[in-house]
Chains A and B, each alone.
Chain A
Amino acid sequence: MSSDLRDEPSRLRVSSSTSINPPGGDRLAGARRHLERAAELLPGHAEVAALLGHALLLGGDAGRAVTVLEESLVREPSPRAEFLLGVARLETGDHAAGEAAASRALAENEAFGRAWALRAECRDRGGAAPEAVDDLRRAVDCSPGFEPARLRLAAWLLAGRTGTGPADREPAADAALRVLARRPFEIHGAAALHLAACAQLARGDAARALRTLAGPAFPTAAEAALRRGLARLMLGEFEEAESAFAETEADPAAAEAATRFADHVRGRRRWEGGDNPLPPPRLEALPRICAATLLGRRPAPAAGAPAAAGEAP
């Protein structure tokens, strides 16, 4: 396992300010206004308070959401309100309180997929990576249609988050591919293909990775070209590899990695996986288990990423 790939999880952490994708400024503001008024007119109504907390969270006011949701929970215990409180706690940086809230939600409803995903995120931030992976597996089992959780789990498996070493790279890649292939992706197909190609490269299946990369370029054309070049290199198709690497110029990070591989091409050296760190998947562009996705919002497409849906191979 390359050090780049091992470092990948830290790259998944993105601030809430970039991850929230509210239903639209006017609608969200309208929703908040009406829910504030409803809370005035129906004091003590737990469902109103929970929904107001939801609106506050989507509006980025996690601090006030915590207050409102805690008041709601005093009146009426509810797995949904606990879950929302957990998201709000996570958003305010208190992952331990977020984990506790998620655990309370799960104690009341063990089949609450998003609560498992929330606890995974909280545990990940608390440094408990293997437990976080276990929770994410439960999230995927409970809510197989929740695509961000499946992408997240595949990425974590691919990044060795189960605590296994480099010797387990191929089994980890296989496990990631199984997670991706569990059912078709309806929303995040391009991201799933990107991860699948990364997994196929990690297990040395260059020909299949090349076919996977024939789909939509994700997250950018340069990133896709870098992986195509690597696949060509692994297949010994040096001229095609060099040509693909030349397409990475627009992206400095991809171009830097491409330069290293291009050196191999020019030297006509044989591909040796252990000496050549695989370029990590661009996980920043993948749907994340953050407030927006946990709350059911579709994240805005990454720059340069096509919106087309596809299927994981």
Chain B
Amino acid sequence: MRSEVVVTGDGAIAAIGRSVEACMESLYAGRAPVPRADSLPTTLAVPPPVFAVAGEIEIASRRPLNRTSRLALHALREAMDRGWGGRLPVDASRVGVCMGTTVGSAFNDEDWYAAFRRGRDPGIDSLTLFLGNELSEVVAESVGADGPRATVVNACASGTDAVGIAASWVAEGLCDVAIAGGADALARYPYLGFSVLMNCSKEPCRPFDKNRKGLNLGEGAAMLLLERGDDARRRGARVLGRVAGYGSCADAHHPTAPHPDGRGLRAAIREALDGAGIDRAQIGFVNAHGTGTNENDRVEGRVFSDTFPPELRVFSTKAYTGHTLGAAGALEAIFTLRNLADGRVPASAGFETPDPECRIVPTRATTPVDVRAALSTSLAFGGSNSALIFTKGSAA
């Protein structure tokens, strides 16, 4: 990063909680919700369970909103209230918006399509709802932001990339502040897709465990407010932490499986370390992608084992939230920042038995940490690998 970029606001919603505080409280208490198999309609004989956000998500909006957008605006409201007192701190033209999503970018109304296939006239309401919910537009419009905007669709790494790209915009002066994050609602499309790929576990997921059987999907949203450190201090803003480094590299290997040696992930971590200007030994813990799939966890564990000192603490929060796809990277970025600030990391829920193939043993309990820097990683379909390094913030 060319100049210091800090986080001055955050907001989150997931199955584990409807605010950052609620999420962190559950994480530290080790309270992983039990995923349910009846949240999505399906005729699968044994439906894999998922992590749904309980209750309605009420958002006042002139624009009809789909569930992904409502999740996003719920998290945004929390972030805006906490960080910017509910209003933009600079001229609207200097506010960037960079969002990550997967489900939110595709038209997935099966009932509509089934009617269309049968030659019926299903009407345009569903299409106009889809066209009116491009995520970066929805977020920008809701706060009146008028600077650069982008919606990242790098599959499961989208949220991580959105934070990294927005931080780069702020560092390079494309905008003065940015709203970065990700959102995705549960949907049958990825649910059935991951199921036919045999990636879904029929039980609660167990990242890095020897007996892991796959992932559980989830839904959620997370938003981070970014600005330059000098500007934040001048405003007297509370600094939650710094986005110190970002890296992203392709495996160039396979549409769905990670490179067996983690080639792209290693390169992404190296780029993030170089950008942060810190040594690998200074990374105190890693919030891993840790989906609970056989290949992801094996590759990630090996890369961490090869790259960092053995005392490194590693955990995954997927057994608390499920895999929230385009939201995951942003959600885990917030958890990482809060862990740094709070001086503790959660237990890697679902983990019991070490897997020699993974070469790491994740945290078994909430653990105190006194470190300056931490890493959050994402691996995605298409061989995308992304890494964010955060460092501790300080009071204004």
Do A and B assemble together? Answer: no
| A contact set with B: CB distance below 8 Å | none
